[in-house]
Structure 1
Amino acid sequence: MKRVYSAHSPLMVGHVRNLLETEGIRCVTRNMGLAGAAGELPPTAVWPELWVEREIDYERAERIVAEALDDTPATGRNWRCSGCGEVLEPQFAQCWNCGGRKPENNG
């Protein structure tokens, strides 16, 4: 097992875990209940952690985490969903209305 993510917020660790599990990467959380030990231990020692179970998934998990935490604004053009015709901004990879996927060639 390898640690792939740690944060002060259990919500963020849970969110990242959901992202990885959606991609078929098995994970384990640790330190989810250690916030009460803050002050007795160094702050980062009690942060919740996310560990990838299989070493073979680690690099892919790192890429997924990096993409999820990247706050660089999306560039490109608005795109139209082929499923329902909804116009969406470039940062969205999926249609909010019908769940259709953004075409790969739409930048």
Structure 2
Amino acid sequence: MSQTWCKIYDAGNALEAHSLKGMLEAQQIEVQLSGEGLAAAAGELPANVVEVGLWVKASQQASAQRLLEQYERADQAGWVCSGCGEHNGSQFELCWRCGQDRLAEP
């Protein structure tokens, strides 16, 4: 039986897309990317056409959305590591000091 896939996010570029894909897969969420091949046309196409889409199975959509909402909120400010208490910039997914995942439970 095939599973329906839902597009849940448009990443601005392949680097962001792969970073988010890794974050979701670390939480056992299957991810497929679309539009990576269009990056070569960047300058010739509108910016939103070269975005890379993230797709997840419909059964995992709610969990993926929650994680992406956390990502977007965290992107606006730094975060404090629950493992060592170190302040990290918003661009980091792992604590620079101890290596703990940004989304790890305290």
Please give the TM-score of this superposition, normalised by the length of structure 1: 0.66
1:64 counterpart = 2:67: yes
> Using the alignment, how far apart are the partners of 1:102 and 1:93 within structure 2?
13
- CA displacement at 1:46 relative to structure 2: 2.0
- CA displacement at 1:93 relative to structure 2: 9.1
Report the number of matched residues: 94
Report Cα offsets for 1:58-105 as digits up to 9, x if no partner. 011011011012124558xx97x5xxxxx5147799794385x664xx
User: What 5-or-longer segments of structure 2 have no aligned partner?
Assistant: none
Secondary structure of 1:5's aligned partner: strand
Secondary structure of 1:28's aligned partner: strand
Please give the TM-score of this superposition, normalised by the length of structure 2: 0.66
1:88 counterpart = 2:91: no
Q: Percent of aligned positions with the same letter in both sequences?
A: 25
Give the partner amino acid of 2:68.
Answer: V
Structure exhibiting the larger radius of gyration computed from Cα positions: 1
Secondary structure of 1:24's aligned partner: coil
Report if aligned partners of 1:93, 1:102 keep a CA contact under 8 Å in 2: no
1:16 counterpart = 2:17: no
1:38 counterpart = 2:39: no
User: What 5-or-longer segments of structure 1 have no aligned partner?
Assistant: 82-86
- When the two chains are superposed, the root-mean-square deviation of aligned CA atoms in Å is 3.3
